[in-house]
Amino acid sequence: MALPSMKVNRKETRYCVAGAAILAALVFVSLITGKYPLSLDRLLSGDPLQRRIFWTLRFSRTLVGVVGGFALGIAGFIYQTVFRNPLASPDIIGISSGASAGAAAGILLFSGAGAVTASAFTGALLALGMVLTLSLLDKSGKNSTIVLSGIAVHALAQTVLMCLKLMADPQRQLASIEYWIMGSLSGISGYSMGGNLILSLSCLVVLFFLHRQILLLAQDEGEARLLGVSVGRLRLVILLLTTLVVSSIVSLTGLISFIGLLAPHIARLLTGNNRPGTMALGGILGAILLCGADILARSLASVELPVSIFTSLLGVPFLIFLLIRGRRSL
């Protein structure tokens, strides 16, 4: 068996550079877009109000948009590669829903950003465990089983979420839980996001070092074992790290739909392969999608709209396209 190529070709490099340039432009637009106007002269002169608007309202949410979108794009790439299913993404297979239910439980039972993140990871881990268990019950080995299992887990997580909402204090806790359901980058402060972003970026660094092993998991398991790969242990480590990335982001932003599905697919359509450069491009496209959706969410109406409205407007037609494309290939 030929090993998957680890080289990054010129085509992938060009797309990554172009994507980075688009992302840089969106970052600039994000920093100057909002309800409260910013003056560059007053900001540079040290105006306290302007500095507070920039660091508290603009910079924090822009940073979360970039890191969060990049993380969800990479997570989608990894899930699709490991499960060998083009529809496997954090929201489709129920991981994001499990993390949201866990975050809601953390809001209800505990206090502090660390407790909410830990609860989100626990919920995501339980969702992942149920998806893997349900998929193992099907002995046919079909790749569609993982998606069907994810739909069942997503429905269960939504039921748990509704029960938690009924138990929540309408004055304090219910509003916070609704925030997770809608998905938004507003209200994120430097105090609450620091630990989550460091955790997410640390896991992403490890996953990039493991990119060769991730691509090996896309091969036939028997052939991977012949290369000396401990498939079960490697898959578990990679899935745990990826789930930790998703939960750390979802505990900040709430449930953001379709980023993990759209970004890696667009990257593969552009490059035509599944190499490390495509993985990086998927992350860059995820950051572009989330930053762009966030800019639209706070600029198209007098009140800020949920980010998931715009990601869903892109994601639903693309999902239909993938289903039609998959049916024609049968």
For residue 146, what is the domain's CATH number?
A: 1.10.3470.10
The pLDDT value given to residue 189: 65
Residues 262-272, mean pLDDT to the nearest whole number: 89
Say if CB 277 and CB 8 are below 8 A apart: yes
Give the chain's domain count.
Answer: 1
Residue 168 lies in a domain: yes
The pLDDT value given to residue 57: 81
Residue 4 lies in a domain: no
The pLDDT value given to residue 330: 41
Higher pLDDT, 8 or 138: 138
Poorest-pLDDT segment among 27-31, 59-63, 90-94? 90-94
The pLDDT value given to residue 15: 92
Residue 144 lies in a domain: yes
Q: Confidence class of residue 242 from pLDDT cuts 50, 70 and 90? A: very high
Q: Is the pLDDT of residue 18 over 80?
A: yes
Residue 6 lies in a domain: no
Q: Is the pLDDT of residue 208 over 80?
A: yes
Q: Confidence class of residue 134 from pLDDT cuts 50, 70 and 90? A: confident
The DSSP secondary-structure symbol of 217 reads: T
Residue 5 lies in a domain: no
The pLDDT value given to residue 145: 78
* Torsional sign, CA 296, 301, 304, 308: negative
Residue 1 lies in a domain: no
Residue 21 belongs to what domain range?
A: 14-33+41-328
SS3 content of the chain, % helix, strand, coil (to 5): 75, 0, 25
Residue 3 lies in a domain: no
Poorest-pLDDT segment among 14-28, 92-106, 218-232? 218-232
Q: What is the pLDDT of residues 67-87, one digit of tens each?
A: 999 999 999 999 998 888 877
Residue 160 lies in a domain: yes
Q: Average pLDDT, whole number, for the chain?
A: 83
Q: Is the pLDDT of residue 20 over 90?
A: yes
Alpha carbons 89 and 245: distance in angstroms, whole number:
13
The pLDDT value given to residue 89: 84
Q: Confidence class of residue 227 from pLDDT cuts 50, 70 and 90? A: low
